[in-house]
A and B are shown apart, each in its own frame.
Chain A
Amino acid sequence: MNQFLRTTVAGAALALGLGLGLPAFAQDAPKAGGAITITYKDDVATLDPAIGYDWQNWSMIKSLFDALMDYEPGTTNLKPDLAESYEISPDGKVFTFKLRDGVKFHNGRAMTAEDVKYTLDRVTNPETQSPGAGFFGSIAGYEDMASGKVKSLSGVTVPDPKTVRIELSRPDATFLHVMALNFAHIVPKEEVEKYGADFGKHPVGTGAFKLAEWTLGQRLVFEKNADYWNKGVPFLDQITFEIGQEPIVALLRLQKGEVDIPGDGIPPAKFQEVMKDPEQKARVVEGGQLHTGYITMNVKMAPFDDVKVRQAVNMAINKDRIVQIINGRAVPANQPLPPSMPGYVKNLEGYKYDPEAAKKLLAEAGHADGFETELFVMNTDPQPRIAQAIQQDLAAIGIKASIRSLAQANVIEAGGMENGAAMIWSGGMGWIADFPDPSNFYGPILGCAGAVQGGWNWSWYCNEALDKRAAEADAIVDPAKAEERFAAWGAIYSDIMKDAPWVPVFNEQRFTMKSARMVGADNLFVDPVHIPINYDFVSVNDVQ
């Protein structure tokens, strides 16, 4: 009774807080100053924007460097950043960016259009070994760069120090997103040449913070860039990243007030305990994520070459139960795109959970007695438990799936081989969008381009008609026609689901826990682009 009362009162208070408190909160001008501490378990890899490509260094790089384009804080809305404005030619193939005045690198030198050209030449140069080089494939001259024939992109020119002109070999509606990627963050040539391969340990950018200290294996300290072009930003004077701390330890230290953000999130084992405690729950911010977890069925391997079998599997999976296994930290999915992605089809019916109908469909396909198959899964919790749930669902319609639980790299390896894996549960390796555009869920994981040896299209689904429609959708560059383009993408994903190469299972939610003294609009703490939080715009309330 007591417990009930407490929870109810706290729940009401929380509802009040959400309804009334927060908007008032947001109206308070953030105070400048103060320092926060963020913990991580693993070492920070490189801070070189051309190379860094994990979720830990992704937002760190965003705070040290800037790109021509960016997103409004806490949203997926594109806006010019180091560019002041841009123009797109009517055929969608020439982008002209006008650069902002007064932008300086941390070494004091003013940034010019030559730096933009240098950055793009560097990231596409094979010697840089950038994982993101392929994103720039639509720039004219990319092929010559990639093959090592030339050292400069012919499509990128500098008419004057404040202007960059980029010519594409094909219209590309996603190009402004590409120019907001970390790989397109501007680097100064002299510093890159000075440090060579160690530039990632000595990052020099134009960003809101600069690197003050990096003690290998222990800590990184970011310090406010007083010369930042965007006056008033950032609010914090200093951010300390402490490395080598288990998530569970980070949570204990957060409770003691020693840590402001546990960077690796709330450990699954403690999730329910935290969410049951109103005081702690109030400091957890929940948000959507551009993520989908799915089961792939290899359309080149019998019996999954039969669309009826794939549809039957889609009806057999009890997604609500799987969401329960991960303590409700996700929402069930019925299509490849996550709900917060433009192009998501809200009224798509999808395949409802219906084991009886699934059995019937399986019988129609000539497998009334079921069949045997293999389900590959990554071997870290909770993935094997989810695989067991899938295994039981499949058994209910007569499919005997044996679970192959392997290290992540081995599952990826098997998926990239044509006859490597009949079924894969993508958990722990599921797709998180590189940028908030529907095309980003197609090419590598559902298009023909990814259905190759070593690719990520693990269902080996290749529909050339859809590939053509995808190319047509991405040729709609005019921002005024964006809605038309999103609708075209929505239709593509709906048609993919008719062929059912995947069982879309769930879209993970994000939960960021913060200390009581951290303030800022909720969406800054679950920023879709800056993970875990948007370092530039959050602040603390205990400074004068």
Chain B
Amino acid sequence: MALYLLRRLVQAALILLGVSVITFALLYLLPADPVRQIAGRSATVQTVENIRRQLGLDQPFLVQYGRYLLNLLQGDLGRSYLQRSEVAELIVARLPATLLLMAAGILCELVIGIAMGLWAAVRRGTPTDRALMVSSFVGVSAPQFVVGLLLLYVFGVRLGWLPISGYGTAAHLVLPALTLGLLGAGWYARMVRSSMIDVLRQDYIRTARAKGLKGSTVLFRHALPNAILPIVAMIGIDIGIFMSGVVVVESVFGWPGIGQLAWQAIQRVDIPIIMGVTLVSALAIVLGNLLADLIAPFIDPRIKLR
């Protein structure tokens, strides 16, 4: 177990290193000059060159990357070019909002996904089943910004039930979490349905029914716990999908998380912020996967860590 953990952590570090090299190189190759963005339009050529030198952007790629890595190893993500604040501080300030949104998003997708899957499995082959599967398909394929704007328009603008945008109360959380959760809910609905159908064919379910237990007891106490086993592992993988989703969803709903921070930074070529958010997201994905793998054997003893 300890050896397994060590191996996985080394792998994680290598993945993060790879992500940092690729992102840094891509940003370096960008045809836009970040110094021009910092210096603004009235800066003299002398000022521009001075800023370039101070930030070390006149150095060759390897020197620049080496410096970045060295600082990174000391936990220093650098300072934003435009805001001039510590990138770590900017990310830490916004991380709680993103984590809250992700937690709520996961809750949404689980509740909706499992409910849909369960219902479809019980009504297998009926029009209800087919309608549920079609809507799950729509949920999976619809672009999130479209879903977000649609929900915003219907519930925020037309009906006025929920705030249009912002942060602070539970009501603010509903629409962004729903938008984020609907995508995954489609996947879960399909998975729960097929795994439920499998389980419902098992002998012990027939036994339970034969004992004269109520239908709902059989469904929720005997079948469901076994049917949702495989999807627990999925939640870890979800974190990766969610990380890309939050950029869109946070921008649509004005949610003050790191996705919005990244979006602004991309528009202004604020390289240290782009690097910082990318690395933090990569870290979250790697840890999420690791956690899912570690939890799996506790839920399903048939899985062994090697």
Using a CB–CB distance below 8 Å, which chain A residues touch chain B? 42-43, 45-46, 48, 51, 53-54, 126-127, 129-135, 137, 146, 197-198, 200-201, 215-218, 242-246, 249, 252-253, 407, 409-410, 412-413, 416, 429, 431, 434, 444, 449, 452-456
Contacts and interface: CB of A to CB of B under 8 A. Distances in A.
Contact of B47 (A131, A243, A431): A131
Closest 9 CB pairs of A and B: A409-B32, A134-B44, A216-B93, A217-B256, A131-B40, A244-B254, A53-B40, A249-B165, A126-B50
B42 interface: yes
Contact of A409 (B47, B85, B164, B269): B269
A416 B43 CA distance: 13
A42 B31 contact: no
Contact of B260 (A201, A217, A413): A217
Given A216-B94, A246-B254, A43 B261 contact: yes
B45 A127 contact: no
B157 interface: yes
Nearest to A249: B165
A245 B269 contact: no
A126 B46 CA distance: 10
Contacts of A434: 42
Interface stretch (B76-84, B106-114, B195-203, B295-303): B76-84
Given A135-B42, A218-B167, A51 B84 contact: yes
Contacts of A252: 157, 164
Contacts of A51: 84
A454 B45 contact: yes
B89 interface: yes
A346 B46 CA distance: 36
B84 A197 contact: yes
Contacts of B48: 454
A456 B45 CA distance: 10
A491 B90 CA distance: 50
B264 interface: yes
B255 interface: yes
Contacts of A452: 45
B56 to A, nearest CB: 12
B214 interface: no
A131 B42 contact: yes
A390 B84 CA distance: 39
B164 A131 contact: no
Contacts, number: 125
B11 interface: no
B54 A137 contact: no
A133 B44 CA distance: 8
A270 to B, nearest CB: 13
Contacts of A126: 50, 54
Nearest to A449: B44
A500 to B, nearest CB: 22
7 contacts: A132-B42, A146-B46, A218-B256, A244-B254, A413-B31, A449-B44, A453-B45
Interface residues of B, number: 44
B41 interface: yes
A132 B32 contact: no
A129 B39 CA distance: 8
Given A217-B94, A253-B164, A410-B31, A45 B51 contact: no
A200 B43 contact: no
Most chain A beta-carbon contacts within 10 A, residue among B48, B164, B167, B264: B164
A249 B264 CA distance: 17
A134 B54 contact: no
A413 B44 contact: no
Interface in B248-306: 254-257, 260-261, 264, 269
B36 A454 contact: yes
Contacts of A135: 42
B37 interface: yes
B166 interface: yes
A489 B295 CA distance: 75
Given A200-B85, A249-B165, A244 B256 contact: yes
Given A129-B51, A454-B48, A198 B85 contact: yes
Nearest to B36: A412
B271 to A, nearest CB: 12
Contacts of B32: 407, 409-410, 412-413
B38 interface: yes
A198 B44 CA distance: 25
A132 B166 contact: no
A245 B165 contact: yes
B42 A409 contact: no
Given A245-B166, A454-B33, 10 more contacts: A46-B82, A133-B44, A133-B50, A198-B86, A217-B90, A217-B257, A244-B256, A409-B33, A413-B33, A444-B42
Given A134-B46, A252-B157, A45 B39 contact: no
Nearest to B164: A249
A246 B165 contact: yes
Given A217-B94, A454-B48, A134 B261 contact: no
Contacts of A137: 44
Contacts of A54: 40
